[in-house]
A and B are shown apart, each in its own frame.
Chain A
């Protein structure tokens, strides 16, 4: 479904993503893990068309990010880190706007928005402006934004950051529920959360691929130690 091929991105002299290659299969929930500054967000931004790759490419289905960016954007729903949303817009107006842009037909628009509001528990805030919302609600508006128009692929950059424990569980439930029919890439710093939701794990560190594991391989590796320990070994190895 999504194929990263030697993806590389420089910011000036700094290499943020360094020849990263891996593949995400249709219907998989992929945990994309790594310490802060490892290049996760940069990878997402290249995949979603916000940034350009310095070299290498990503293929989504048969589309290439260098040639068919618009087609790829149509396939992907993206929740950026900290979910920036127009703060002077009403939640309903915002979702309506995204529905228009995503080409949701006029007749399906209202039921679709209602369905997403139910799924993300946004019904009480539909007529508030975004800057009146708490962090948790804002994050959920972001998730509704990503789900708008039923994209086949979801890219969620730390969807549970800043949420309270109840909301984290709710969000995880949402991801699991929608993950049954969609391909999802998401990142988190809560490893137990990743272990509980994902089918596969890709760990990157300093822009390089550190590990690419299936759930079974992970179970094998974490038999005699915790996931946290494994993560530390993989991503701090060169410091010690």
Chain B
């Protein structure tokens, strides 16, 4: 029985992952992401006079907060709108298969989107000696961050049949998580900021990006993923 479940997740993943690339939206989103990231990163890169990717990873959380909900908004909303949601739910698969399959497809897409930025790292090695430790740590962190935002985007998509609404809800939550510490610094005493920054994705991401992989940071992202996917499961249950 366990085997059958992983089989189903695999089939749903394959179908969803492929369907990203049959429409032009995937290529547009990836192009915009690479253009904006490249421009923002390299426009300040030479001012710092340092061979590092710190600048790149610093702008990644807000960039992901906008881009990823656009990637995930169709996951459920489109199916509900077109009516294929009924087909999906009457196939012999569980909610968990569907959610995990769709989630992994979104994470796969984020990985594809992120892969070309490795070129930046290679470019930088030509200009000075790049410390690969923090870079690899950052990429792991970026994948975790992308996965967490994908899970949130999926949750938002399960809430509504309107893709625009799904995008806005997803973006709002992701922006909060990405910029929480920056907002709070303005109007909270330092002691409370320390507490609230535990909820901030940016804080945990920055920690991993230093190259020190701490289980607390990984646990944070895994919890966000779990809570969001579980929430999506509850919403699907509730819709029946």
Stretch at the interface among A32-40, A45-53, A171-179: A45-53
Contact size range, B = 20 to 34
B92:A50 contact, CB within 8 angstroms = no
Stretch at the interface among A69-77, A196-204, A207-215, A227-235: A69-77
Shortest distance in angstroms between A166's beta carbon and chain B's nearest beta carbon? 26
Q: B22 — nearest CB in chain A belongs to which residue?
A: A88
- Number of A-B residue pairs having CB atoms within 8 Å of each other in the complex: 61
A50:B93 contact, CB within 8 angstroms = no
B86:A80 contact, CB within 8 angstroms = yes
Q: Which of B1-41 contact A (CB under 8 A)?
A: 4, 7-8, 11-12, 14-15, 18-19, 22-23
Q: A73 — nearest CB in chain B belongs to which residue?
A: B92
B83 proximity list for chain A (CB < 8 A): 80, 82, 84
Known A-B contacts A73-B90, A76-B90, A98-B91; A84 and B84 likewise in contact (beta carbons under 8 Å): yes
Q: Report B211-227 CB contacts with A as 1/0, cut-off 8 Å.
A: 00000000000000000
Q: A47 — nearest CB in chain B belongs to which residue?
A: B90
B4 proximity list for chain A (CB < 8 A): 103
Asked if A169 is an interface residue, CB under 8 A from chain B, the answer is no
Shortest distance in angstroms between A8's beta carbon and chain B's nearest beta carbon? 15
Q: Which of A12-65 contact B (CB under 8 A)?
A: 45, 48-52
Shortest distance in angstroms between B78's beta carbon and chain A's nearest beta carbon? 9
Q: B23 — nearest CB in chain A belongs to which residue?
A: A88
B86:A73 contact, CB within 8 angstroms = no
Asked if A163 is an interface residue, CB under 8 A from chain B, the answer is no
B115 proximity list for chain A (CB < 8 A): none
B7 proximity list for chain A (CB < 8 A): 100, 103
B92 proximity list for chain A (CB < 8 A): 70, 73-74, 101-103
Shortest distance in angstroms between A41's beta carbon and chain B's nearest beta carbon? 10
A186 proximity list for chain B (CB < 8 A): none
B90:A49 contact, CB within 8 angstroms = yes
Chain B positions within 8 Å of A, measured between CB atoms, are 4, 7-8, 11-12, 14-15, 18-19, 22-23, 82-84, 86-87, 89-94, 240
Q: List 10 A-B contacts (CB under 8 A).
A: A73-B90, A73-B93, A78-B90, A80-B86, A84-B86, A89-B22, A100-B11, A101-B12, A101-B92, A102-B91
Given contacts A70-B94, A86-B84, A102-B92, 9 further A-B contacts (CB under 8 A): A45-B86, A50-B90, A70-B92, A73-B93, A89-B15, A97-B15, A101-B12, A101-B92, A145-B87
